[in-house]
């Protein structure tokens, strides 16, 4: 009797343990989150890899041969147009200029004397003492001294130019590099660049675009204002988005045959960063030669069908989604995507406005199987 009761207890315990498993396998349709296919304002965007380039770059080269006596700038700082940067030895050039000025004074004296002689000969020409040959000689002598004076004055201008070259001033405003030559060395035109200046604001951004993409963009924005319908944004190497907005200003007229691309150029402001002391080594975000990600965006948003990107799946046939039909059954639907973002998928074809797409719990869905839909509530962004 006791053994029979024990056996009945084990049977009851096994039945209780088996009940949840039986309920689990026999459960109803899975619950899923759905989002409606809706038209939303979308900013169209295309990404390219670009390189920053200073608009103006000048190599400072000595125009005369002389000792370097003075350096008047801080390496890496910004200089203003007209600032004195280098000063060369002036003594030999000042002496040469004085010598040429003396030659001018001598030629002027000879010319005055020739003019007086000519005037005297012309006065005597109608008298018994006058001779035509004397007048002719006077005219020739005056012309000769006049030519010598012009040559001497040209020599003065050349000497003045050489003297002026002993001071090297900044031809543009920009950031100057370190000096390649120090005080006490002899510099000459063959010495190469003493330093270079790179303009800072604004800057160019150059990026290659395939010919196919250029044609597509041209057709897309032709009736929207062309260049004016496009804005340029940049993503810096650290992943942050640059605050300034640029504009397109040039497309190379020649295709790079090796890559089948056209070089496109944008111009963008590069002001001193907020809260940073100007004239420092890193006072601006954009630096000549820097790689950036170029975002070519439409100025005006467009209305486009879209769904949350998390609902888009892919297989060998391409992109697809699961649509909930009127009978709450999941239907697999192939779609074509437009220019999408990480958060939103732009639907070019395959869906109609108002349809419900499964975006949460997709892994539990099977084509043709019923589901229990409810509105999709995205998780709040983490701060």
Per-residue pLDDT tens over the stretch 17-27: 444 433 344 46
**Same-domain check for residues 212 and 112:** no
What CATH number corresponds to the domain at position 268? 2.40.30.170
Domain termination site, one of 250, 285, 302:
302
The model's pTM? 0.68
**Same-domain check for residues 368 and 295:** no
**Same-domain check for residues 236 and 283:** yes
The residue with greater pLDDT, 19 or 90, is: 90
- DSSP secondary structure code for residue 226 in this structure: G
**Same-domain check for residues 177 and 230:** no
Q: List, for residues 200-220, the tens digit of each pLDDT value.
A: 999 999 999 888 888 877 777
Query: What mean pLDDT do residues 149-177 have?
Result: 93
Contacts with 174 (C-beta within 8 Å, 6 or more apart), sequence order: 54, 56, 58, 78, 79, 197, 198, 199, 200
Q: Of 176-190, 281-295, 354-368, where does the model show the most confidence?
A: 176-190
- Omega into 202 within 30° of 0, i.e. cis? yes
The values of phi and psi at residue 353, to 5°, are -60, 135
Domain termination site, one of 279, 302, 325:
302
Nearest to 319 by CA among 343, 341, 336, 342: 336
Domain termination site, one of 181, 198, 215:
198
Other C-beta atoms lying within 10 Å of the C-beta of residue 104: 18
Q: Which domain holds residue 335?
A: 31-40+303-375
- Contact criterion met (CB below 8 Å) for 237 and 290: yes
Query: What mean pLDDT do residues 192-206 have?
Result: 94
**Same-domain check for residues 173 and 83:** yes
**Same-domain check for residues 188 and 318:** no
Judge whether 26 lies within some domain.
no
What CATH number corresponds to the domain at position 369? 2.40.420.20
**Same-domain check for residues 326 and 274:** no
Tokens coding 225:
């204002």
Q: List, for residues 16-72, the tens digit of each pLDDT value.
A: 444 443 334 446 888 888 888 888 877 667 788 999 999 999 999 999 999 999 999
**Same-domain check for residues 119 and 241:** no
Judge whether 136 lies within some domain.
yes
What CATH number corresponds to the domain at position 70? 2.40.50.100
Tokens coding 63:
């125009």
Judge whether 21 lies within some domain.
no
What CATH number corresponds to the domain at position 146? 1.10.287
**Same-domain check for residues 307 and 365:** yes
**Same-domain check for residues 36 and 50:** no
Residue 231: what pLDDT?
Answer: 84
Helices 132-164 & 91-124 angle (0-180, nearest 10): 160
Contacts with 344 (C-beta within 8 Å, 6 or more apart), sequence order: 40, 42, 306, 307, 308, 309
Number of domains in the chain: 4
Judge whether 15 lies within some domain.
no
| Residue pointed to by tokens 């100025």 | 299
**Same-domain check for residues 79 and 180:** yes
**Same-domain check for residues 160 and 99:** yes
Q: List, for residues 237-287, the tens digit of each pLDDT value.
A: 988 999 999 988 888 889 888 888 999 999 999 998 887 776 766 788 999
d(CA 185, CA 230): 52
Instruction: Give me the count of residues in the chain.
Output: 383
pLDDT above 70 as % of the chain: 86
- DSSP secondary structure code for residue 369 in this structure: -
Strand duo 344-349 + 302-308: pairing: antiparallel
Helices (H), the chain: 2-25, 91-124, 132-164, 211-221
Judge whether 264 lies within some domain.
yes
């Amino acid at each position: 009797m006791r053994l029979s009761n024990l056996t009945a207890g084990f049977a009851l315990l096994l039945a209780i343990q088996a009940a949840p498993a039986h309920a689990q396998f026999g459960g109803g349709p899975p619950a899923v989150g759905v989002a409606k296919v809706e038209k939303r304002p979308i900013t169209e965007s295309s990404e390219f890899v670009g390189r920053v380039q200073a608009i103006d770059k000048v190599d400072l080269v000595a125009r005369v041969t002389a000792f370097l006596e003075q350096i008047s700038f801080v390496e890496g700082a910004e200089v203003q147009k007209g600032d004195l940067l280098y000063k060369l030895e002036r003594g030999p050039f000042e002496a040469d200029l004085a010598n040429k000025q003396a030659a001018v004074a001598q030629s002027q004296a000879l010319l005055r004397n020739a003019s007086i002689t000519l005037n005297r000969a012309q006065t005597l020409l109608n008298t018994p003492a006058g001779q035509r040959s004397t007048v002719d000689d006077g005219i020739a002598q005056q012309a000769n001294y006049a030519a010598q004076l012009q040559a001497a004055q040209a020599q003065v201008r050349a000497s003045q130019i050489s003297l002026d070259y002993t001071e090297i001033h900044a031809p543009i405003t920009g950031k100057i590099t370190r000096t390649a030559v120090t005080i006490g060395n002899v510099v000459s035109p063959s010495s190469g660049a003493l330093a270079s200046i790179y303009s800072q604001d604004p800057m160019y951004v150059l990026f290659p675009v395939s010919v196919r993409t250029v044609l597509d963009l041209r057709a897309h924005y032709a009736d929207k204002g062309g260049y004016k319908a496009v804005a340029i944004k940049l993503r810096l190497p650290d992943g942050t988005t640059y605050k300034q907005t640029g504009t397109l200003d040039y497309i190379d007229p020649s295709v790079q045959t090796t890559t089948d691309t056209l070089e496109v150029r944008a111009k963008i402001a590069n002001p001193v960063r907020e809260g940073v002391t100007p004239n420092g080594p890193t006072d601006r975000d954009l630096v000549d030669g820097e790689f950036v990600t170029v975002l070519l965006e439409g100025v005006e948003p467009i209305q486009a069908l879209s769904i949350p990107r998390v609902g888009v799946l892919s297989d060998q046939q391409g992109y697809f989604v699961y649509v909930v039909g009127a009978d709450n059954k999941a239907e697999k639907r192939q779609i074509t995507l437009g220019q999408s973002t990480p958060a939103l998928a732009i639907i070019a074809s395959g869906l109609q406005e108002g349809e419900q797409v499964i975006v949460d719990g997709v892994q539990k869905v099977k084509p043709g199987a019923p589901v229990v839909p409810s509105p999709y509530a995205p998780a709040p962004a983490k701060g």
